[in-house]
Amino acid sequence: MLKYKRVGITVKSDLDQKDDSLQAIISAVRASGAEPLLDRGRSKGLPSAKGLPAFTSPKEIDLLLVLGGDGTILRSVREFQDFSIPILTINRGNVGFLAEMSVDEVSELLPKFLSGAGILDERSVLRVVAKREKKILIDAFVLNEAVISQGSIARLFDLRTTVNNELLTTFRADGLILATPTGSTAYTLAAGGPVVEPHLSAIILTPINPHSFSQKPIVLPGDHCIEVEVLTKENKFGGVDVSLTLDGQMYVTLQRHDMITATMGKQTVKFLRRKKETFYSTLRTKLKWGERPEE
């Protein structure tokens, strides 16, 4: 008995040998008795896509298969936006941090998933809105993080940050990362932020190279509203270029007094997993947590 009968498939645009991988997935979906529907824009021109129907709305599918690495998964979450549809992630090479299985495992595991095996792993997303006075510059969801950072000239700038309309601090730094618990093991970790269990409801603020040693990363409750005002200053170089980047893929240029608001989304992204892995085993196996360097 199939649980997922209409299976949407999206792929990484510049994936090497993409058609071979896509063909393997289409064959496994059909062998299970389900109907494959393609993301036409990402599979255009591929021989394996010829004659297959495309999906244009999440309402047309029961499950979304994402073929690619973590970047493709982040892109799919941002573009899809209907978080009621489960996502099953497939990597063609080594299994990534977010990916669930490799293409080599598809013929064995996919029929089991489509028949109802596996569990749903729910992850929070951050809604980020940037405004210039009354104009909305961007309004989108991120699975990992939103980064406010300066551009070509390495100069500190100020970010006045409030939490639920109460002043937290004015960060004087190279930038500020606003991350979800899922994103705590991504860019914010490299910037010195804490590792946070991904199923907690929390927002992580991590300043990038802060001027003051007292301005450390902070973890806030997920139901709080964070507002950040950009306070750049004119200088002999003509000012500091500032941008807002979402999940490392989408960005907008910011100006003085632009406002960025971050709140936890009400919906969660639902990843289909083969089994419930503990976060601690993931730290050990994928981040090599606690391993001693080779002597």
Which domains can be identified in the chain, with CATH numbers?
Answer: 6-117 (3.40.50.10330), 125-266 (2.60.200.30)
Of the chain, the percentage scoring pLDDT greater than 90 comes to: 60
Nearest to 163 by CA among 225, 228, 205: 225
Helix axes 18-31, 106-114, angle to 10 degrees: 40
SS3 145: strand
Q: Which pLDDT score is estimated for 236?
A: 47
Per-residue pLDDT tens digits for 13-63: 776 778 888 899 999 999 999 999 998 877 777 788 788 898 888 889 999
Give the C-alpha separation, 292 to 295, whole Å: 8
Residue type, 19: D
- Taking residues 169-190, report their average pLDDT: 95
Classify residue 35 as exposed, middle or buried by CB count within 10 Å of its CB (0-12, 13-18, 19+).
middle
Q: Just list the catalytic residues.
A: 70
pTM of the shown model: 0.88
How far apart (Å, rounded) are the C-alpha atoms in residues 290 and 47?
A: 46
